[in-house]
Amino acid sequence: MNFKYPKNEKLKSKTTIGLLFSSGKSVAKYPLRMVYYSGALGDNEPYKMGVSVSKKYFKKAVDRNYFKRVLRETYRLNKHLLVSELDKPHAFMIFYQTKDRLSYEEINAKTIQLFEKFAVQNGKTKTLEIDIEP
């Protein structure tokens, strides 16, 4: 299993980000929200992913960067749940939408639940069963 998050998976294209907000769909599991777009991304990559933390809730860049790092890490460790459900190219963006400072374990659990909800919303009927250690 590949747990890497290489440069070619990172969402950086302004046109792709524009597509996410104009014609993308969304799925949420408080405090996370994932906006996704399925379709051609311009390059031959199967998926791209980015993260965002609001300046409204975290004024200091240090705090925003910490939560972005945590979101990228939880994605990296659980992306197999998300990628296994894809049949065409996708672009994703995950947002941290609260001023509550959740721990890494709580964010990881919410990320897994978010990916499961995405799988169910996209018509995949199998339920993902993951053991989450306390």
At 126, list the tokens: 């199998």
Q: CA–CA separation, 21 vs 39, rounded Å?
A: 14
Cis preceding-peptide flag for 46 (omega within 30 of 0): no
Q: Does domain 14-121 have CATH number 3.30.1360.120?
A: no
Q: CA–CA separation, 104 vs 134, rounded Å?
A: 11
CB 2 within 8 A of CB 47: no
Q: Which letter does DSSP use for residue 88 in this model?
A: S
- Owner of token pair 């991304």: 41
Dump pLDDT digits (tens) for 60-96. 999 999 999 999 999 999 999 988 878 889 999 999 9
Dump pLDDT digits (tens) for 1-39. 789 999 989 999 999 999 999 999 999 999 999 999 988
